[in-house]
Amino acid sequence: NRHRTVRKPDLERDNENVRVMELDKLSLFSVIKGRLAWLGHRQEVLAQNIANSDTPRYKARDLKALKFKDLVSNQSSNIRMVATAGSHLTGIPKRAIESKVETERRPMETSPNGNSVVLEEQMAKLSETGISHRLTTELYKKHLNMLKMAIGGRR
């Protein structure tokens, strides 16, 4: 028989030969992932405020502002540092990105039934969150395209 059948490698069975780049291990992608998670959580909190706009004594809530400095400081190098001598530094451990829900301290208005939800204010915050989400996803796309271009995948 002159023709030899060559079997394609089974990628599901033979994972040791397949290398996958995990994007969330790259620091910028990890920061973007954290920002998107925070924005998603904020959208949920604002939606709850809007849903409870007629609930007596309901207090409007929002997430504690996420500072870029905190996001970046939560990211340490993906290279594990090992102290080989007592005088060596061991690196800074990663901390989880926290999003703390807070009751608004100074509501703009309070209705006679004690509800502090102002729909216009909540809609403005929801719009701001949507704009931030779009901006963050665009940043993700641009960085991904730049990475693809660097490895020669697309121009």
pLDDT exceeds 50 at position 147: yes
Domain ranges of the chain: 23-149
Six token digits for residue 75 = 């990211």
CB half-sphere exposure, 116, CA atoms < 13 A: 12
Rounded CA separation 85/77 (Å): 20
pLDDT exceeds 50 at position 107: yes
- Per-residue pLDDT at 102: 77
Please state the pTM of the whole predicted model.
Answer: 0.63
The predicted-structure confidence for 83-100, as pLDDT tens digits, reads as follows 666 665 555 444 445 567
Residues 6+ apart with CB under 8 A from 83: 89, 90
Is residue 93 a contact partner of residue 77, using CB atoms and an 8 Å limit?
Answer: no
Residues 6+ apart with CB under 8 A from 5: none
